[in-house]
Structure 1
Amino acid sequence: MTGSAVSDQATALPLVWDVADLEPRVAELLDAKQRRVSRGRYDAKSADDVTALLEGLLQARGERDFSLHEVHRMAGGASKEQFAFKLRRGDDVERMVLRLDPPESIVETCRYREAEVFAAMARHGVPTPSTRFLDGDGTHLGAPGIVTSFVSGVTSPPVDSTLISGVGTSFTAEWRKLLAPQFIDTLTLIHGADWQSASLPHFTAPTAHPHQAALWQVNWWSRIWRDDQVDPYPLITLAERWMRERLPETPANSADLVLLHGDFRTGNFMFDPDTGRFSAVLDWELAHIGDFHEDLGWILQRLFAGPAEDGRVLACNLIEREELIQRYEEATGRTVNPRTLAFYEVLAAFKCAVMNLGTGYSAAARGHNHQDVLLSFLSPVGHVFLGEIATIIEREAAL
């Protein structure tokens, strides 16, 4: 059923099946993406291409007497094309990073929102990159992009090996002792930010009814699945129905409604390799306003977990599940609802299954992403998340 069809019948449908109820900016992004799917194959930009685009943007922003140096593609970037460079103004030289949208990404997100959340979090003491230049609609860069400060640090200890997107990062007990408290403290800071007084014009809070925070997320990712699926998977259909029948409540006036990171985990924070001190939280593109359980559900995904030396399973290879919940409750004064958390654990696995089995695979097949080989490689990982969905649903059915 299409969104327009549901919109025409919305008053006659139960709330849970109003699939057209989406955060407005998210709906705009998904509609714009659908208009791009008929484009031909995309050729990844060269350093010379990016240099010329950056020069145009900086000139449009009033920069004069500057030069660009050492423009080069950064490793990784399954979502956005990323380039590091140095900007020289007289004797001053600053390292910066450009994040640029390809025609299709494994996640469709907004550079305006990214800049807004950087500013909101910086005011609240969360370490983030700083926006230097913004081209949110792609007027000068040819695609939406953001230029940020360059943050020093590592995402894993220098002696450890890391697989794609932070998966497989392993910490010793000594590193966990340094990083786990900062992980909890930073999540607490993020969820404590006063989003109501922040300047977030491209965000909308789900305050129309208590189920809207959960419904917007189910509608967001089920819409993406309808748009991008290559092959049908009955378990994805089952998961969507399971979530719609169990939408948790998050009252609009509740402290449970917070500004979420959306992808908070090992691999998305940086720290000093000598001291272990956090230097930045990265990858804010999935940030939105919603229920705090959502970030916890994401952190607890099995794919991000790892074993301790004694065989215990640790969330993000940092902390045991129950300890994470206990320390979060102590730090925030909130109470974690087990049923609500289970809902958001299913949602987290659902999102990742959609990304890998739908969006990533279809974008690679159409040649619309600079990392088509990587996205094809990641597609089978979606089955890990299908297994996680089945495990959680079976666990909840046994209660």
Structure 2
Amino acid sequence: MPGYTPKSSDVLERFLRYVQVDSQSDPHNEDETPSTACQRNLARLLASELAELGCEDVALTEHAYVTASLPASAGAEGLPALGLIAHVDTAPDAPASGVRPHIVRYEGGELVHGERDGKRVVTTPEELPALLRHVGEDLVCTDGTTLLGADDKAGVAEIVALLARLAATPELPHPCIKVAFVPDEEIGHGAALLDLDAFGATWAYTVDGEELGEFNWECFSASQATVTAHGVEVHPGSAKGVMVNAITLLREFDELLPAAERPEHTEGYEGFFHPIEISGGSGEATLTYIVRDFDAERFAAREQLLRDCAAFLNQRYGDGTVTVEVREQYRNMVERLRGMDFLRDNALDAMAACGMEPRVVPVRGGTDGAQLTLRGLPCPNLPTGGYNFHGVREFIPVRSMELMVDALEQLVGRFAVPQE
């Protein structure tokens, strides 16, 4: 992003502190919120810092939700409040305890993050062509043994750095800003317990995306399907014509689904079926899928195909041999954002003002914003500037975080006037 020099902020210092506070969520304890006690540590730290910045109504709930308000600038007091939201937990996909961030000056070629089990951990431009856009920049990496936590502690740091700037420079225009930092986004809980009436925002943005310039107001519609096969067990020595192996049934079920419609073969607006977990034995076995699509009709057709596959096998092996339970997780937020083009246009204009190349990109996943939008708080998603989320090769350019603080300043300024 040549030609634009970001303002100074304390975003790097905040980010380096936040990533060293363990806050990984636990999918095996999703019935409790937060799913891990360590998330409370970061929540307490953030609540304290927001109070020090002069935010009002700072609250820390028993479920590790942090909320606060920054009063509007002069002349914008009567305008609707704008929310900024990020999540405090980090993904359970890779080790996340004892994060040791360090800064690498990237000069091209391989980016060496660190070392793991005696082997270098690297990212190459062939794997990530966007890496070459950051030649000559400082990149925050881990030592290669843990993820970094830029997802979403970069978003947290960028929001808090913005609030620090606005508090120190009260003449910068902005409406009342409502902030929420929430737990357990990475395991699907996210902002489920955020009291929207008490929060008080009319519309909001999550800051939870990746590459600079990417704006998300479309995401997958998502469901989880549990397929259970009930076999007939007999001694294998006398099984001919009698045994029905539940494991084999699940294999047959999976083979009935379109082979090309898997995550490893899809991109853009293409949906998929993704088997994520299998358990059981020859008598009874269970296979869990996540099902994703952007289009509502195609999404419904995918869920129906699962039921049709079960019906086909039940016709062959007997009623009740295969059962399918489908649980909806979230919907494509664009279904509720149509007609609110100012949310998109303000975000794109704000990023362009900071030298970014703004573009609308569909999220091949979900965000807290999808859940919140369906609950009545319009909430598209902004980038953080990070790369390689959910793994030990995660990194984020320092300049990208600084630019996002500037973009947030530009964004909130655009809400300091009435929206049409």
TM-score, normalising length from structure 1?
Answer: 0.26
Greater relative contact order: 1 or 2 (C-alpha under 8 angstroms, separation 6 or more)?
Answer: 2
More strand by share: 2
Question: Larger radius of gyration, structure 1 or 2?
Answer: 2
